Amino acid sequence: MKDAPLESPDATESGEETTAQESVEESVEEAPVRLTDFADLRRNGHFYADKTEFLFRLVKQDRPIFLARPPRFGKSLLLSSFERLLEGQRDLFKGLWIDQADYDWAPSPVIKLDINQVTDDTSWTLENNLSQLTQDEAKRLGIQLKMKNPANTLSSLILNLFDKYDKKVSILIDGYDAPIIKHLDQPNDATNIREILKKFYDRLRSDEEMIGPIFITGVCRFDWNSIFSYLPNLYDLTFERDYAAICGFTAVDIEDLLGDRKKKILKRLLKEKFIAPGSQGKDLSDFIRDFYGGYSWDGRTRVYNPWSALSFLHEGKLSNYWYSCGIPNLLREMRPEALGNLDWFKNLPSLNETNSYIDNLNRLDLAVLLFQTGFLTIKEKIGQTEEIPEYSLGLPNIEVQAALAPVVSEISQRDNPIKDDKESMNVISDFLKLKDLMV
């Protein structure tokens, strides 16, 4: 993977910018950056990377399903498509893989809770907010509930839907860990929040005779006993090779998205100096891969960050879009000492499925945290212990490297009372030169 400028400082003339934007808009009509509702996406004819074969397999599971992926990686859209599938809305799946599969399309009631929406989530307000979120979902489903305890509210909603439809109720939970992640720099608050969430999720077990498919997504893999103790048979897809591409774009998806517009877009990027003039021999797909690809959860299958790839097509420049997910600022607040040490990056620890949980909020494993939040990814398989693969870690792409560099520089100089811009730039430069880190 080679260096390339994230943005061109020369493309500032208003006429050139207008031309670039108009050119981009010709190619991004089907690139919905912020759309996470499957029905809206399909009804408006936007591009959709077909994940329905994965959903077909999952709907047959008789145990709760869990998936961890970094922020902005398509988890919400995945759950939205699963929701519409469980509701039997076949018209939305015309032309997709599952439309030709042996699926009965029988509708069932679905509860979908987006925990990301719980914004005021201090430990003493979280219970009220969870209860309100569940009541809002009940109202959407035509059921009126007025309870203060969130676990009881969820249990009552499940019971009411089961009685109303005489069918098992499916439950989809997006961002199950969002309130914890927001407080990772405050371990005591994070621990209290985790306990509240644990009580809430425990109801998924107590009402299991009325519950159908359960699908839970989030960013981090916390120790199951600390948050899902009543779901002992949870099926964790995170490292499953058969589901390595369940989120994110594949290389085939990128080609489908670009279509026959690749040369035109590349020519404009060269003209506007968004990429180096000496790069004419490279294909546009190569640039997108270097900037936004590289992610893997099995050491073989590589996928692209969909948020960043779509943002590139929408904005028309190879820039850092993923940075806005908020994780870099969280790292700044946490200020882990090792993050400011370039030698630590040169000797990254290995990782496997069993040692990649967060089990102690007071002493976070930095490599695990960076892996789960998307700053590190699996580079390759380096061994195996008792049938459990061991993996080396690396940086997935240029975008992540550029997002992490200033954080590394800032933390490396935290004990320096004098702000030295030159020294800061030297640290950033040295970090960007760590080519062996790249996948």
Q: Flag whether pLDDT at 123 surpasses 90.
A: no
Q: Flag whether pLDDT at 6 surpasses 50.
A: no
| Confidence (pLDDT) at 360 | 92
Query: What is the pLDDT confidence band of residue 433, given thresholds at 50, 70 and 90?
Result: confident
| Confidence (pLDDT) at 166 | 95
Q: Once rounded to an integer, what is the mean pLDDT over residues 379-388?
A: 90
The rounded percent of the chain whose pLDDT value lies above 70 is: 89
Q: Are strands 110-114 and 65-68 parallel, antiparallel or unpaired?
A: unpaired
| Confidence (pLDDT) at 15 | 42
Q: Once rounded to an integer, what is the mean pLDDT over residues 2-7?
A: 38
Per the model's pLDDT, the better-predicted residue between 362 and 316 turns out to be 362
Alpha-carbon gap, residue 132 to 61, rounded angstroms? 30
Per the model's pLDDT, the better-predicted residue between 225 and 38 turns out to be 38
Query: What is the pLDDT confidence band of residue 81, given thresholds at 50, 70 and 90?
Result: very high
Q: Is 0.75 surpassed by the pTM of this model?
A: yes
Q: Once rounded to an integer, what is the mean pLDDT over residues 337-350?
A: 88
The answer to whether the CB of 58 falls within 8 A of the CB of 78 is: no
**pLDDT per residue over 64-79, tens digit each?**
999 999 999 999 999 9
Query: What is the pLDDT confidence band of residue 8, given thresholds at 50, 70 and 90?
Result: very low
Q: Which amino acid is at 305?
A: N
| Confidence (pLDDT) at 24 | 39
What residues have CB less than 8 Å from 78, skipping those under 6 apart?
A: 51, 55, 67, 217, 246, 247
Helix (H, G, I), strand (E, B) or coil at 98: helix
| Confidence (pLDDT) at 30 | 52
Per the model's pLDDT, the better-predicted residue between 150 and 147 turns out to be 150
Query: What is the pLDDT confidence band of residue 263, given thresholds at 50, 70 and 90?
Result: confident
Domains of the chain, earliest start first:
14-29+248-437 (no CATH), 50-243 (3.40.50.300)
What is the chain's mean pLDDT, rounded? 86
Longest CA–CA separation in the chain, Å: 68
**pLDDT per residue over 183-230, tens digit each?**
998 999 999 999 999 999 998 877 778 999 999 999 999 998 899 987
Return the CA Rg of the chain: 23
What residues have CB less than 8 Å from 324, skipping those under 6 apart?
A: none
The answer to whether the CB of 68 falls within 8 A of the CB of 372 is: yes
| Confidence (pLDDT) at 415 | 57
